[in-house]
C-alpha cells in the first residue's frame, strides 16, 4: 500500500514550528498504529510537539484521529442520558467510587471506564479490586448488563478504544514526552469520547500532589479538554480542584473503599463530600436531570445502587475488606496547629508502603496505605496520633517515614492553601 | 549490570533546556551503543538536542564519547606527518581525488577515509569505484600497505571507528534529526579524530547546493568542528567555500574521475584547481611541510602517486572508465551570457540520471551524470551546447530535464555569486 506521507516530512514540519495539516495528523496517527511510522519516529515527533506545541485545531484533529483507530461505544439503547467523569488524579482521590452510584441513583447512566495506578497516583480499579470477587474486566455485553442492573459501572477500558493512545502512551512514558499538554489532553479525551457518553465532567487537579502541580498548566489543560469534548459533540465541563493536601482522610486502596462507603452512608470527610456533590451536580445538570444528589445519599438509594453495581460485577459488597498486617502510628511532636500536610509526601509514602506500584507488572498491597487523623488547621496535642501507616511488610515503614519527613508540620507557618474548587469551565468557555 | 542513569532523566534534562553533564553524555552515548538506551529514546533526545542545542563543552564531550565506543587508528609508525581532509559535500566536489596524491607527493601521509553518496551528494567511494578493479574496503593492514606504497589512501571507514556514530546517523536519517549542528559536528569529527591523523582541514560548503545552504549555519558548524578537533589534539582548520554553482565541469562519477585526472595532468577547470591548491597548502602547512603543490603537479609526481595508490588498491589506472549508453545535449535557448547555473538543480538532475542513489541499497550508474560546457559569466551563442546529460536509461532524461528547468538562464539577471573561498578558520579562531 502506498502511503500518503513520508514520516520524516511530518516530523520536520513540526520540528520547524509549522502546523500539521488535518491529512498529516490523520495519516501519522493511523500509520503509527499500523506500525508504518516506527516508535523512534513517533518519539521524535512527540518531542517536537512537546517543545513546539500544537494549536487547538491540531489537538482536536489529533484526538479524532486517535478515536478513529478503534471502536466507539454507544449507549443509545438506554433511555436515560449517559454522563461520565474523569479526574487527572490525586492523592486520596476516591471520588469515582461514591460518585457513580450517586449519579446513577439520580437517573443517569454512568459508564465509568477507569485505569490502574502508576507511581504515587492511586488507580480506581486497584481500589475496587479490594472488594472480594469484584471483576474489572468486562465484555461490552457484560458492561451493559451492569448498567441495566445498577445504572453505573466502573470497569477497565477495553483494548478496542483508541488503540493509538495505548501505544503512544507507553512510548511517551519511556521517552520523556509525557508532559506535553496537547498529548495529555488528546490521550484523555480520545478514550473518554470513544467511551460514548453524551456528557463529561473533568476534575483537573492542581497543587503539589497533582500531575499538573502548576495552576496555569492545569488551566491550559482543562480549557483544551473542554474544547476537544464540545467540538466532538460531548457536552464537556471541567472543575479545577485543589490537590495541595490529600482528599479526605484515607490514602490507599481498601481504606479508600471504606471512606467511600462512609460518604454513601451519609458521613465522610467534608472536603470529599463537597467535591463529590459538586461533581455530581455538574454531571446531573449536563444530563438534564433535575435531581438532588444529597437526597440520593440520605434516602439510601445511592448505597443501593453501589451494592447492585458491585454485585453485578461479581463482588460481595458486604465482605470484609483486606487489612494490612502491620500498623505504625505517627504522633504529633508538639502541641499546636497542624499547619502543613503535603499531598505529594503523603502520596509517595503510601506508595512506598505498598499501596501503589513502581512498574506496571508490580502487585499492590490492598490493605496498605495511610489513615490521616488530622488535616491542616486542626489543633493537636503532643503525642496525639497524626496518622496511621499500614503495610504488610514492616520494612516498608522506614522508607515511608523518610518520605513523610518535612511533609507535615505542627506549629509552623500555615502552608499556602488552595480553595477546594478553584475554577469552573463550561461549554461557553473559550 | 546496574546503569548510572535512567534514559528518561537524561532526555528530560535536555528537553527542559539544561546542560548535560560529562557523566550523562558518556553514559548515554555508550548505553545507546550497547542497546540499553533504545532507538525511540535516542531519537527523542536527538530532537531535544536539535531544538534546545548543546554548548561547546557538551559537543566536545559527546564527540569524545562517540570515539570511545570504538577503536582509534594510529599512524605513528610512519615517519612522515599525517594529515586528513573532510568536505561537507557538494555538487561536482571531486577534490579528494586529486588532493590526496598531491599532498602525498609533497611528503605527507594522507589516510583519507571516505563515504558513499546519498541523495544528490556524490560520494568519493562511488566515484573511485568507476575505476576497474579498485577496492574501497581495506583491512587496517592493507590500508597501511597502500600508504607505504603511495603515501595516500582513499578507502571506506571500518566498522570499528565510532560505532555509536554509525548507529546514531542511521537513526537521525529517519527521525528528522539530521539537521542538528551539534550532532552533525560530532558525527563528522568523531570519525575524523578516530582516523588518527595529526592534522585535519575541513572544507565546509555553503550555498544553494550545499547541505548548509545558509552561511551563518555553515560558519557555526565550521567553528564548532575546528574547536572539537583542536580540543582533541588534532590540528584542525576550516575553509568555508562556495557551493552556489557546481565545482568544475563534471557532475557524476566516472566523469569526475576524468576531470580529476585532468587536474593531476596540469589542466582542469580553474575553480577546481584553485580549491585543490588552497586545501593542499593548508594541509601541508599543518603538517609542517615546506613543499609546493603546484610543483608536485607539473613535475608529474602527483600523477605517479595517484597511479601507485590506485594500483595498490587493485585498480587499473589505465583502464577505460565506464561510459553512459545515452547522451542528451542541452543547448543555449538564445545568445548571451550564461547568468545562472544553480548547483542544487544540476546536482538533483545528475542524481535523477542515475549518478546517485535514493536509498542506501540502490545501485548507481557510474557513467551517468552531467558534463557542463559553460559556467556563469561565459558568453554562449544560441544553439551552442550548454551541458551534456549522460544516462544508461533514456527514460531518465525527462525527469532530469524537469529538475534543470529554472536552474540555468541565458541573458537574465546575473545570479548572486559567492567567492570561492569565503572564510578561513584556524587553530586561533574562537
Contacts of B77 (CB under 8 A, 6+ apart): B144
Instruction: Give phi and psi for B203, each to the nearest 5.
Output: -110, 100
CA-closest candidate to residue B379, choices B329, B330, B335: B335
Region label for B19, one of left (φ > 0), alpha (ψ between -120 and 50) or beta (otherwise):
beta
3-class secondary structure per residue, A276-304:
HHHHHHHHHHHHCCCCCHHHHHHCCHHHH
Adjacent-strand bridge partners of B410 = B338
CA-closest candidate to residue B90, choices B227, B257, B245: B245
Neighbours of A383 (CB within 10 A): 10
Give me the count of residues in chain A: 430
Give me the residue from A44, A50, A175 closest to B177, CB to CB. A44
Three-state DSSP state, A338? strand
CA–CA separation, A376 vs B217, rounded Å? 57
Q: Domain A7-53 belongs to what topology?
A: 1.20.970
B15: which chain A residues are within 8 Å (Cβ-Cβ)?
47, 50-51, 176-177
Q: What is the pTM of this model?
A: 0.88
Give me the residue from A7, A47, A171 closest to B15, CB to CB. A47
Q: E-assigned strands of B109-234?
A: 110-114, 152-156, 199-206
Instruction: Give phi and psi for A328, each to the nearest 5.
Output: -140, 120
Average per-residue pLDDT in chain B?
Answer: 95
Residues 135-194 of B with CB under 8 A from A: 171, 174-177
pLDDT class for B430, splitting at 50, 70, 90? low
CA–CA separation, A186 vs A44, rounded Å? 18
Cβ–Cβ under 8 Å, residues A203 and A243: no
Antiparallel, parallel or unpaired: β B250-252 and B379-380:
unpaired
B181: which chain A residues are within 8 Å (Cβ-Cβ)?
none
A127 is catalytic: no
| Range B363-389 burial, b when 16+ CB lie within 10 A, else e | ebbbbbbbbbbbebebebeeebebbbb
Contact A44 B15 (CB under 8 A): no
Range scoring the smallest mean pLDDT among A217-221, A412-416, B106-110, B255-259: A412-416
Question: Using one digit for the tens of pLDDT, what is the confidence trace for A339-389?
Answer: 999 999 999 999 999 998 877 778 899 999 999 999 999 999 999 999 999
Question: Grid coordinates in use for A306?
Answer: 453501589
Give me the residue from B40, B50, B176 closest to A175, CB to CB. B40
Contact A176 B42 (CB under 8 A): no
Question: Grid coordinates in use for B66?
Answer: 562517540
Please give chain A's pLDDT, 430 residues, in tens: 588 999 999 999 999 999 999 999 999 999 999 999 999 999 999 999 999 999 999 999 999 999 999 999 999 999 999 999 999 999 999 999 999 999 999 999 999 998 887 667 778 999 999 999 999 999 999 999 999 999 999 999 878 899 999 899 889 989 999 989 999 999 999 999 999 999 999 999 999 999 899 999 999 999 999 999 999 999 999 999 999 999 999 999 999 999 999 999 999 999 999 999 999 999 999 999 999 999 999 999 999 999 999 999 999 999 999 999 999 999 999 999 999 999 999 999 999 999 988 777 788 999 999 999 999 999 999 999 999 999 999 999 999 999 999 999 999 899 889 999 999 999 887 6
Give me the residue from A40, A50, A177 closest to B175, CB to CB. A40
Question: Using one digit for the tens of pLDDT, what is the confidence trace for A198-218?
Answer: 999 999 999 999 989 999 999
Q: Domain B83-319+421-425 belongs to what topology?
A: Pyrimidine Nucleoside Phosphorylase; Chain A, domain 2 (3.40.1030)
Cβ–Cβ under 8 Å, residues A166 and A33: no
Range scoring the smallest mean pLDDT among B88-92, B103-107, B263-267: B88-92
Q: Work out the percent of chain B whose per-residue pLDDT is above 70.
A: 99
Q: E-assigned strands of A166-318?
A: 199-206, 235-242, 250-252
CA–CA separation, B242 vs B207, rounded Å? 6
CA–CA separation, A209 vs A356, rounded Å? 15
Adjacent-strand bridge partners of A258 = none
For residue A168, give the chain B residue with the closest CA.
B40
| Least Cα separation, residue B359 to chain A (angstroms) | 14
Q: How far are the Cα atoms of A22, A40, A44 from residue A14, in angstroms, in the given order?
A: 13, 15, 10
**B47 near A CB under 8 A:** yes
Question: Using one digit for the tens of pLDDT, what is the confidence trace for A153-201?
Answer: 999 987 889 999 989 988 998 999 998 999 999 999 999 999 999 999 9
CA–CA separation, B336 vs B412, rounded Å? 9
Question: Using one digit for the tens of pLDDT, what is the confidence trace for B354-392?
Answer: 998 877 778 899 999 999 999 999 999 999 999 999 999
**A358 near B CB under 8 A:** no
Give the DSSP H or E segment for B252: strand B250-252
CA–CA separation, A143 vs A163, rounded Å? 19
Average per-residue pLDDT in chain A?
Answer: 95
Catalytic residue among A84, A165, A231, A271: A165
Catalytic residue among A87, A150, A187, A190: A187
> Which of A6, A41, A43 is the best substitution to test chain B (most B C-beta atoms within 10 A)?
A43
| Least Cα separation, residue A51 to chain B (angstroms) | 8
CATH number for the domain formed by residue range(s) A326-410: 3.90.1170.30
**A217 near B CB under 8 A:** no
Contact A44 B43 (CB under 8 A): yes
B40: which chain A residues are within 8 Å (Cβ-Cβ)?
38-40, 42-43, 171, 174-175
A180: which chain B residues are within 8 Å (Cβ-Cβ)?
none
Question: Grid coordinates in use for B232?
Answer: 582533541
Question: Domain residue spans in chain B?
Answer: 7-53, 83-319+421-425, 326-410
Give me the residue from B15, B44, B52 closest to A44, CB to CB. B44
**A418 near B CB under 8 A:** no
- What is the set of active-site residues of B? 86, 165, 172, 187, 191
Which position has the grid cell 488503540? A163
A172 is catalytic: yes
Amino acid at each position: 500500500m502506498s502511503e500518503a506521507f513520508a514520516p520524516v516530512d511530518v516530523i520536520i514540519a513540526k520540528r520547524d514550528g509549522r502546523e500539521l495539516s488535518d491529512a498529516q495528523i490523520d495519516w501519522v496517527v493511523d500509520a503509527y498504529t499500523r506500525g508504518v511510522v516506527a516508535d523512534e519516529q513517533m518519539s521524535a515527533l512527540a518531542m517536537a510537539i512537546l517543545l513546539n506545541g500544537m494549536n487547538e485545531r491540531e489537538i482536536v484533529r489529533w484526538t479524532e484521529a486517535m478515536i478513529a483507530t478503534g471502536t466507539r461505544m454507544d449507549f443509545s439503547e438506554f433511555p436515560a442520558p449517559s454522563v461520565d467523569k474523569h479526574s487527572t488524579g490525586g492523592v486520596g482521590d476516591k471520588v469515582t467510587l461514591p460518585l457513580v452510584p450517586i449519579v446513577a441513583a439520580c437517573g443517569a447512566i454512568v459508564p465509568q471506564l477507569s485505569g490502574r495506578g502508576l507511581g504515587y497516583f492511586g488507580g480506581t480499579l486497584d481500589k475496587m479490586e479490594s472488594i472480594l470477587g469484584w471483576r474489572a474486566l468486562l465484555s461490552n455485553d457484560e458492561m451493559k448488563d451492569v448498567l441495566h442492573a445498577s445504572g453505573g459501572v466502573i470497569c477497565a477500558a477495553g483494548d478496542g478504544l483508541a488503540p493509538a493512545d495505548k501505544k503512544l502512551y507507553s512510548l511517551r512514558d519511556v521517552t520523556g514526552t509525557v508532559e506535553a499538554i496537547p498529548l495529555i489532553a488528546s490521550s484523555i479525551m480520545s478514550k473518554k469520547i470513544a467511551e460514548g457518553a453524551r456528557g463529561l465532567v473533568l476534575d483537573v487537579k492542581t497543587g503539589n500532589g497533582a500531575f499538573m502541580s502548576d495552576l496555569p498548566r492545569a488551566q491550559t489543560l482543562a480549557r483544551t479538554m473542554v474544547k476537544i469534548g464540545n467540538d466532538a459533540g460531548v457536552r464537556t465541563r471541567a472543575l479545577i480542584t485543589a490537590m495541595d493536601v490529600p482528599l479526605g482522610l484515607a490514602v490507599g486502596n481498601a481504606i479508600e473503599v471504606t471512606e467511600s462507603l462512609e460518604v454513601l452512608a451519609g458521613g465522610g470527610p467534608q472536603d470529599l463530600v463537597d467535591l463529590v456533590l459538586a461533581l455530581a451536580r455538574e454531571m446531573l445538570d449536563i444530563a438534564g436531570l433535575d435531581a438532588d444528589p444529597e437526597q440520593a445519599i440520605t434516602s439510601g438509594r445511592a448505597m443501593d445502587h453501589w451494592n447492585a453495581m458491585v454485585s453485578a460485577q461479581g463482588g460481595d459488597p458486604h465482605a470484609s475488606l483486606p487489612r494490612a498486617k502491620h500498623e505504625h502510628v505517627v504522633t504529633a511532636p508538639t502541641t499546636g496547629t497542624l499547619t502543613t500536610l503535603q499531598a505529594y509526601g503523603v502520596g509517595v509514602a503510601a506508595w512506598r508502603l505498598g499501596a501503589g506500584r513502581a512498574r506496571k507488572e508490580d502487585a499492590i498491597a490492598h490493605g496498605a496505605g495511610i489513615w490521616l487523623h488530622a488535616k491542616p488547621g486542626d489543633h493537636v496535642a503532643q503525642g496525639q496520633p497524626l496518622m496511621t501507616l499500614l503495610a504488610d511488610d514492616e520494612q516498608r515503614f522506614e522508607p515511608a517515614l523518610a518520605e513523610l519527613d518535612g511533609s507535615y508540620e505542627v506549629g509552623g507557618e500555615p502552608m499556602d492553601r488552595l480553595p477546594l474548587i478553584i475554577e469552573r469551565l463550561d461549554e461557553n468557555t473559550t
